[in-house]
Amino acid sequence: MHGLRVEGRVLRNPSTSQLYTAALERGEAVLAESGPLVVDTGRFTGRSPKDKFIVREPGSEDRIGWGDVNAEISEENFDGLRAKVVAHLERSDVYVIDAFCGADPKHRLAVRVLTTHPYHALFAKTMFIDPADAELDGFEPDVLVLHEPEVEADPEQDGTRTNVFVCLHPTRGEVLIGGTFYGGEIKKSVFTVMNDRLPLQGVMPMHCSANVSEDGKDVAIFFGLSGTGKTTLSADPSRKLIGDDEHGWGDEGVFNFEGGCYAKTIRLSAEAEPEIWGAVHSFGTVLENVVVDERGQLDLDDDSKTENTRAAYKLERIANMLPAKRAGHPRSVIFLAADAFGILPPIARLSREQALFFFLSGYTSKLAGTELGVTEPQPTFSTCFGAPFLPQPPTVYAELLGQKLAEHGATVWLINTGWTGGPFGEGHRMPIKATRALLAAVLSGHLHAGEFRTDPVFGFEVPVTAPDVDESLLDPRSTWADPERYDRKARDLARMFAENFATKHADAPANVAAAAPKP
């Protein structure tokens, strides 16, 4: 089996109960009250993006965007690490999970995960899409994940940065993971393969959430970095949830990559997010680094292990999820930014060129106090809203987005879920009620027909009025006590955008570069 001679048992596609039993017997998890399985991922409680490598090999090297995001490793070093992982797998019981990544049968990847750890097998079983029984007969993987967190790399011998490694061989479709127990590496490494393969098929891979109206005719997608409201705004009880993390946009519309949800749980409340709360407290859910007492009671407010506590559960736990996990072409494309400078309006309409500029920029802002040394808001630019998972150059994804927008006539909107009335520490957070009202006006079409003004610095169109929204919010300059200070800060932010774009995207088309804000 894939070059392995396993001495122990090979457990193919075990049930959730079998994986629970094995994890508990091995002392690798505890059972919490109401049924979730709680695990501790050790010193790594999040991804290790600087320990991700792509093999430089003839079949793919010309299309990979090499650099800090896509660090290279030699085929020789990959094979050496593979031999280490295989040797460890061969000495143990091996759990085999067969699943699909991608809800569109024309554009999905068959994924096989081999691991010695039942918790990680359950994670993969939960996060990817279950095959039908008939699809398991003769299952042939497009992607093979060899997962063994107990194997560590030797940087001098193996060409890695540290003991941790997440390595992708694009042509073979093989992924090696070692040195880290964090489950998110499994799903994100497979998503990276999808983000490499789909553009070759003319499909746009997207780090976004997506939902659709009850009648199935009005699809919206939401791009945004952590903390911008991507999950919150797409979880609309009046609409069907397609998915909340990664999607493809193909010839027939939008489709979810995964079969599960990997939600942050820190300070989660039953009142604010009852469905996620219910999923967290259910059998079949895997909880990472959540504190649990000796009686099995969860404490979701305890961040002593990490702020990044996580729950992996099947999407079917959410009542309004769309079972097919796919729908038609988007009418509305939403870019979300939590602007802590208090400069951006609560909503703006973008031209096609502006849309590609803001997509390549991938803007939000870090808050003071969130990291050591951060004393005031700092701009954060993550290319295409998902830089760590994009193997090819950013312009490849921007060109695909431009083609999709042109083909299907989608309108792109920029929504600021950050601050108004001044920067963080002086102003206040954009009222969620106003954000929801603006989004509802977009999706209903009411906002399209209203009057717009052109922002003098950023160049986008801002509505003058909107249903159920205070008009003063729509003009952020008027919400500042000192309008001239707003003007200075607006020019500063515009300059940050321009400098980031000039540094990272010198190869972008001239018309897209020309859509930059004018400081």
Q: What is the CATH number of the domain that holds 373?
A: 3.90.228.20
502 shares a domain with 378:
yes
Q: Identify the domain boundary among 201, 227, 242.
A: 201
445 shares a domain with 359:
yes
217 shares a domain with 125:
no
Whether 240 has a pLDDT exceeding 70, the answer reads yes
**Residues 6+ positions from 152 with CB-CB distance below 8 Å:** 163, 164, 178, 179
212 shares a domain with 197:
no
Domain that holds residue 310: 260-317
342 shares a domain with 476:
yes
Whether 119 has a pLDDT exceeding 90, the answer reads yes
Whether 33 has a pLDDT exceeding 90, the answer reads yes
245 shares a domain with 174:
no
229 shares a domain with 166:
no
Q: Say whether 128 sits in a helix, a strand or coil.
A: coil
Q: Confidence band (pLDDT; 50, 70, 90) for 325?
A: very high
Of 471, 209, 227, nearest to 318 by C-alpha is 209
Direct distance between the N- and C-terminal alpha carbons of the chain, in angstroms, rounded to an integer: 60
Determine, yes or no, domain membership for 5.
no
How large is the average pLDDT for residues 328-354? Answer: 97
pLDDT higher at 271 or 453: 453
Determine, yes or no, domain membership for 343.
yes
How far apart CA 146 and CA 79 sit, in angstroms, is 12
How large is the average pLDDT for residues 11-31? Answer: 97
Of 272, 274, 276, nearest to 263 by C-alpha is 276
350 shares a domain with 430:
yes
Which of the residue ranges 177-186, 365-374, 376-385 would you say has the lowest mean pLDDT?
365-374
* Token output for 36: 């979730």
Indicate the helix (H) or strand (E) that contains 378: strand 378-381
Q: Identify the domain boundary among 289, 317, 345.
A: 317
How far apart CA 123 and CA 182 sit, in angstroms, is 10
Q: Cβ distance 33 to 297 under 8 Å?
A: yes
Determine, yes or no, domain membership for 217.
yes
How far apart CA 252 and CA 248 sit, in angstroms, is 10
| Dihedral of alpha carbons 412, 233, 301, 289, sign | negative
Determine, yes or no, domain membership for 89.
yes
Q: Confidence band (pLDDT; 50, 70, 90) for 376?
A: low
pLDDT, position 367: 59
Residues classed as catalytic: 47, 188, 207, 226, 230-231, 245, 310
**Residues 6+ positions from 468 with CB-CB distance below 8 Å:** 433, 434, 437
209 shares a domain with 196:
no
How far apart CA 145 and CA 190 sit, in angstroms, is 8
Determine, yes or no, domain membership for 43.
no
Q: Each residue of 79-92: pLDDT tens digit?
A: 999 999 999 999 99
Q: Cβ distance 99 to 12 under 8 Å?
A: no
Q: Cβ distance 92 to 115 under 8 Å?
A: no
Q: Identify the domain boundary among 168, 184, 201.
A: 201
Count of H helices and E strands in the chain?
14, 30
Full strand arrangement of the beta sheet holding 109-115: 10-12, 94-101, 109-115, 143-148, 174-178, 165-169, 52-55, 71-73
- Other C-beta atoms lying within 10 Å of the C-beta of residue 329: 17
The alpha carbon of residue 128 and the mean position of all alpha carbons in its chain are separated, in whole angstroms, by 14
Tokens 């292990």, residue located: 305
Determine, yes or no, domain membership for 213.
yes
User: What are the phi and psi torsion angles at 278 (to 5°)?
Assistant: -65, -40
pLDDT, position 412: 98
Of 48, 199, 185, nearest to 117 by C-alpha is 185
pLDDT, position 393: 96
Of 443, 467, 466, 468, nearest to 239 by C-alpha is 443
Q: Confidence band (pLDDT; 50, 70, 90) for 272?
A: confident
> 423-430, long-range: CB within 8 Å, 24+ apart, which pairs?
423/340, 423/341, 423/342, 423/376, 423/377, 423/489, 424/340, 424/341, 424/342, 424/367, 424/368, 424/376, 424/377, 425/368, 425/376, 426/342, 427/342, 427/479, 427/480, 430/346, 430/473
140 shares a domain with 235:
no
Q: Each residue of 244-255: pLDDT tens digit?
A: 999 999 999 999
209 shares a domain with 190:
no
Determine, yes or no, domain membership for 480.
yes
Q: Cβ distance 334 to 229 under 8 Å?
A: no
Instruction: List the beta bridge partners of residue 413.
Output: 334, 349
How far apart CA 507 and CA 505 sit, in angstroms, is 5
Determine, yes or no, domain membership for 471.
yes
How many separate domains does the chain show?
Answer: 3
Supply the angle between the helices 352-361 and 483-504 in degrees, to the nearest 10: 80
Burial class (CB in 10 A: 0-12, 13-18, 19+), 25: exposed
Indicate the helix (H) or strand (E) that contains 292: strand 291-292
Alpha carbons within 13 angstroms on the beta-carbon side of residue 288 total 27
Q: Each residue of 486-509: pLDDT tens digit?
A: 999 999 999 999 999 999 999 999
CATH number, domain of 276, equals 2.170.8.10
Of all residues in the chain, the percent with pLDDT exceeding 70 is: 98
To the nearest whole number, what is the mean pLDDT of the chain? 94
How far apart CA 256 and CA 434 sit, in angstroms, is 28
Which of the residue ranges 207-216, 290-299, 364-373 would you say has the lowest mean pLDDT?
364-373
Q: Beta strand 71-73 with 174-178: parallel, antiparallel or unpaired?
A: unpaired
297 shares a domain with 435:
no
pLDDT, position 375: 54
